[in-house]
Structure 1
Amino acid sequence: MGNEDAGSSPAIVFGDERPPPLPPRPSQAIEGGHVVTPVERPQLQSKPTTAVSSMNIQTLSFPDGSRGTFSTNNGNVSTGADQIDVMPEQSTRSRGLSTGGSDLDEAMSVMSFAPTLRPPGDLESLLVGDMGKRSPAWALLHAQSSAVQPFETVKSSKMAVLTNFEHEFDDIPDVSENWNDEDRLQMWKSKLKHFMILSSAGKPIYSRHGDLGLINSSMGVVQTIISFYEGAKNPLYGFTAGDTRFVIATQGPLYFVAVSRLGESDSQMRAQLDALYMQILSTLTLPTLNNIFANRPSTDLRKPLQGTEMLLSSLADSFTKGSPSSLLGALECLRLRKSQRHSINNAFLKARSEKLLYGLIVAGGRLVSVIRPRRHSLHPSDLQLIFNMLFESGGIRSGGGENWVPLCLPAFNNRGYLYMYVSFLDGQAENETTPQTSTDNDEEIAIILISTDKESFFALQQMRDDVVTELKRKKLLEIIKAAAQKGRPTIDEIAPGAYISHFLFKSKANVQFCMPSLHPAFNDMVQRRRLMSLYHGLHATVHTKHSHLKVLNCVSEESTSLAWVTPIFELYCVAGPNAPQAAIAQAANKIIQWAKREEERLFIIGGGVF
């Protein structure tokens, strides 16, 4: 029985032996329903060694997207308990600790979790140093990141398509032992951009890549698709297959097709197809073209257009490489002083022949001077056809000397021919006996005289001699040559210290544009195409139908860009991916001020009028 109750019995007695009494229990204080046992601890001999100050730690977001922390110090720094206020109630509730002096010391230690009224002070004690001061390494890194050029860092999937762009213009070889039809077809499919022209009867007329035998079946498929939609009274303007965009333009009996993987908009590609149509009209005129197909719809147009394939290909290649002139629908002029251009115009007008309709001086595809009738002016699209013929295709230039070319300017009059006298100058200012040296296309100078009279060759030839004599006498030919050799100004000359890497500025009133040099950032063909693809995207966005955008900021992993459109001008800027938007806006204002200040040097305002 005694063993059953042993667990509950206070003591077990065996005979007269009793255990010694237990020592007395220490006194226990009851506080807040909890038993608190005081802990004896030796008094610390010194105050805490951690310096704590009342400081606020704040976070700053930088314009490039990075963040940094810094402190705002009120200037009062002290140590130990003088700067720490402990809330005893919260401390005991959260930790179960007593509120004695030893607990206060523990609360002030670095590893303490006891809450304080100023937690930023503890944070500062851990992060020793003045966090408001930017280290030299940080400043250098930030400056370098802002100076990164476009397309230098991340390569997006959109730009990966340009990896083999330098081979875009390689000719597709003929069938041989090393190249069968399958290999040639694969090479044709690898091209990023195609232009095809065919008749409504399905007859192939022109293709930029590959001979007509290679792509005859493809043209047949395209003609079938177009005819199907036309039969349904629902014309087909374009469609997408994978990452490839097809755009179709119908001009009378001709079908024009553009196939692109370069990300251009439909309106931009359609403008390029219109330019190809204008190139055909410049050879045939509209009445001749209509008469050919009115009598025989299945006519093979390759024979009437024989010899112009080089003009079509050079024009198509300029679109593939990226042409600011065709994108903006404007011309670029050679930068000259106002007084110098005025003297050139006067020399032109002084030697004017009665047979003259238009007179042009062009240096490397940039307009130097123009004289025209008071009520007539040349459309930019007509001038682009002339410049393509002279400076891109090389057909006329290879002939050297003088050229007499019948030409239709469709925007001026698509029903008849004008006659163009072309003479290339060697740029030598002293005398014509100096042997000509090979010059770059950007430095070639040409005099272009246009007349409605097909018998005016000798009259225009005499005018050319008089103009050259006057230009040499006043040393104006030297000035033109020097300006052409100098090239476009650099971005540092236009806006020193700006984050901008490149820009396009269009004056709407003058239908002309200017831009800085492409060197050195965009000298490579691939880099230039990337730049033009970016400009195409900006232009397409701000000119989308029903779009009311005036200012567009675009930020990507590869670049930062800005488009600014007003009734007076259009500005497109490109900078690196880390460039601050505020800095880009400031640089854009500098460019606009520069263009306004240099307007009469950058643009031809009116020209010479007779």
Structure 2
Amino acid sequence: MEKGRDKKDESVWPKQLKAYVAKSSKHDQEDHYMETWRNHKKHFFILTSAGKPVYTRYGDESRLSDFFGIMIALSSFVEDSHAGDKLRFARAGRLSAVFLPRGALLYVAISRCREAVPVLARQLDYFHRLIVSTVSSRVYDILTRQPSYDVRNVLGGTSNTFRSLMCRLSYQPEAAFQAFSTLPLAPSHRDRIRDLLTGMKKESSSLVAAVILAEHKVVAVAQSREGITPEDLFTIVNFVNSSTSLRNSESSWTPLCLPDYRHDAFLHAFVSFYTPVVSITILTKDQRDVVALQEVGMRIKQEMSEGSPSLLDEVEKMHSTPLTPPTSVPGATHALHFMVLRDNQVVLSSFPQQLDSQKKVKKLLRRYQHIASVGRRFESVAGPVGLPKGGSRRPDMLWRVTSEFATLVHSTSTSEIEVFCTFPPTTSASDATLTAYAIEKWVKEHEDTLLTKKIATFY
């Protein structure tokens, strides 16, 4: 599997994330009267039902108060005029505005990126999840009792978390497809790490989950019988990797709410970075477990450090190994790029020279999202979505050709695996179909290494 890998692609996601977070603050002082603010292609806003600003992707929310007032007025007008109906979306030319009400908060996306309404709505839902993970859903109860309450008072210090989320929504496919990325690892190594995680059940009967990450990629997971959803796992990944304080301390305990597990209460999260890349997160319901589980976390670090090479060495080696180029997959020579979804996990190939910029990568992932939304992968808030111009469809295949690229989405009859492929525009549909089958076969042959095939349980 190592043969033919492209070294130029090494650690592309972490580099993009760090660069995005570092440069995004330059827009903090903009407002809607400035041309630079109006020229941004996609905005995200969060406001209360009373019209109070909570968050804006670009600019200073306190300088956008009248703009926030217009948005809440539009939403209220539709609700008052149509017997309680909610404003879901509006279009004007290339501009789309999507509204997602959640309790006493309203989440709004305004975009000129030609993304489908369901795609934008799902992105807004992740902002809702971020709010809940930080302050739990009790913030909605507070706003119901006190509509004028300033939510920003309890969201202090979360700017990096918001920026990290925005970057992941732009450059990583996990959130859009309700999946997570797994670090490729020899099955024997992953099994040993999984055994270390499940062994901690002797220390506590209140464990919810334990996750070992290599930056944003999952190495191993153990969980209680209730389980955690891919969206909650995404919440953990974003939380751990966006916090500078967690990275700079040897270990930390912090409250964290998982919206799907229990949206109205906090769990106690122990986070420790074993190396600058590898971290462990342990979640428990019982604060009395803190000392014992912290000791377990340090013991796991020691056991993963033993031997030559150690388990930590193996994890870091695979983390630094570049992604697989399509040309190294037998029978996939026609493909420029592919993405595979299986068991709620993502397998990505490297990006070719034609997609060597962040802008082009973002455009490609948006293309996958849009075509997937046509295939009804996304729950639509706007009703049926039409087939893109220049496309064709059969029950297990979507095919889209433009002057720039050809894209094929193939899924098995049971939808257990989906293959997204990008080709030169001159590629025939038959060649693309054979390539998709070859990639599907390759993933199945190597799935024990590429994927986490077993999520261990504590009890």
Give the structure 2 partner of residue 79 of structure 1: none
Give the structure 1 partner of residue 4 of structure 2: none
Q: How does 1:33-112 map to 2 (within 5 A)?
A: none
Give the structure 2 partner of residue 513 of structure 1: 346
Distance in 1 (alpha carbons) for counterparts of 2:219 and 2:21: 32
Q: CA deviation at 1:309?
A: 3.0
Q: Is residue 570 of structure 1 aligned with residue 418 of structure 2?
A: yes
Q: Which moved more, 1:195-204 or 1:488-497?
A: 488-497
8 Å CA contact 1:171–1:209 kept in 2: the answer is no
Deviations 1:360-383 (A, max 9, x none): 11112111111122x222111111
8 Å CA contact 1:336–1:601 kept in 2: the answer is yes
Q: CA deviation at 1:398?
A: 4.3
Report the 3-state secondary structure (helix = DSSP H, G, I; strand = E; otherwise coil) of the residue aligned with 2:58. coil
Gaps of 5+ in 2: 1-19, 386-393
Distance in 2 (alpha carbons) for counterparts of 1:226 and 1:189: 21
Q: CA deviation at 1:216?
A: 1.7
Compared CA separation, residues 279 and 341, structure 1 to 2 (3 A): same
- Which amino acid is 1:344 matched to? I
Distance in 1 (alpha carbons) for counterparts of 2:223 and 2:114: 39
Give the structure 1 partner of residue 73 of structure 2: 224
Give the structure 2 partner of residue 172 of structure 1: 27
Q: How does 1:233-244 map to 2 (within 5 A)?
A: 233=83, 234-244=85-95
Compared CA separation, residues 339 and 259, structure 1 to 2 (3 A): same
Distance in 2 (alpha carbons) for counterparts of 1:412 and 1:343: 27
Q: CA deviation at 1:241?
A: 2.0
Compared CA separation, residues 167 and 193, structure 1 to 2 (3 A): farther
User: Which of the numbers 283, 292, 296 marks the counterpart of 1:450?
Assistant: 283
Q: Which moved more, 1:309-318 or 1:538-547?
A: 538-547
Deviations 1:517-547 (A, max 9, x none): 2354434111111211221221121117668
Distance in 1 (alpha carbons) for counterparts of 2:202 and 2:254: 18
Q: How does 1:280-299 map to 2 (within 5 A)?
A: 280-286=131-137, 288-299=138-149
Q: CA deviation at 1:493?
A: 2.2
User: Which of the numbers 314, 318, 335 marks the counterpart of 1:500?
Assistant: 335
Give the structure 2 partner of residue 591 of structure 1: 439
Give the structure 1 partner of residue 10 of structure 2: none
Q: CA deviation at 1:578?
A: 1.8
- Which amino acid is 1:495 matched to? P
Give the structure 2 partner of residue 481 of structure 1: 316
Compared CA separation, residues 484 and 197, structure 1 to 2 (3 A): same
8 Å CA contact 1:334–1:367 kept in 2: the answer is yes
8 Å CA contact 2:332–2:439 kept in 1: the answer is no
Q: TM-score, normalised by structure 1?
A: 0.65
8 Å CA contact 1:249–1:257 kept in 2: the answer is yes
Give the structure 2 partner of residue 313 of structure 1: 163
Give the structure with higher Rg (CA): 1
- Which amino acid is 2:145 matched to? N
Give the structure 1 partner of residue 150 of structure 2: 300
Larger helix share, 1 or 2: 2
- Which amino acid is 2:147 matched to? P
8 Å CA contact 2:258–2:266 kept in 1: the answer is yes
Give the structure 2 partner of residue 274 of structure 1: 125
User: Which of the numbers 289, 292, 298 marks the counterpart of 1:465?
Assistant: 298
Distance in 2 (alpha carbons) for counterparts of 1:168 and 1:242: 30
8 Å CA contact 2:200–2:293 kept in 1: the answer is no
Q: CA deviation at 1:351?
A: 4.7
Deviations 1:35-81 (A, max 9, x none): xxxxxxxxxxxxxxxxxxxxxxxxxxxxxxxxxxxxxxxxxxxxxxx
Q: How does 1:255-270 map to 2 (within 5 A)?
A: 255-270=106-121
Q: CA deviation at 1:421?
A: 0.5
8 Å CA contact 1:338–1:600 kept in 2: the answer is yes
Distance in 2 (alpha carbons) for counterparts of 1:497 and 1:357: 41
Report the 3-state secondary structure (helix = DSSP H, G, I; strand = E; otherwise coil) of the residue aligned with 2:151. coil
Compared CA separation, residues 190 and 170, structure 1 to 2 (3 A): farther
User: Which of the numbers 266, 273, 277 marks the counterpart of 1:424?
Assistant: 273
Compared CA separation, residues 303 and 173, structure 1 to 2 (3 A): closer
Deviations 1:124-161 (A, max 9, x none): xxxxxxxxxxxxxxxxxxxxxxxxxxxxxxxxxxxxxx
Q: Is residue 347 of structure 1 aligned with residue 196 of structure 2?
A: yes
Distance in 2 (alpha carbons) for counterparts of 1:358 and 1:309: 26
Compared CA separation, residues 482 and 204, structure 1 to 2 (3 A): same
8 Å CA contact 2:53–2:61 kept in 1: the answer is yes
Report the 3-state secondary structure (helix = DSSP H, G, I; strand = E; otherwise coil) of the residue aligned with 2:152. coil
8 Å CA contact 1:206–1:309 kept in 2: the answer is no
Give the structure 1 partner of residue 239 of structure 2: 389
Q: Between the two proteins, what is the percent identity of the paired residues?
A: 25
Deviations 1:231-267 (A, max 9, x none): 1223210001231100001111111100111111111
Matched residues, number = 418
Report the 3-state secondary structure (helix = DSSP H, G, I; strand = E; otherwise coil) of the residue aligned with 1:573. strand
Report the 3-state secondary structure (helix = DSSP H, G, I; strand = E; otherwise coil) of the residue aligned with 2:279. strand
Q: How does 1:59-208 map to 2 (within 5 A)?
A: 169=24, 171-172=26-27, 174=29, 185-208=34-57
Distance in 2 (alpha carbons) for counterparts of 1:248 and 1:300: 21
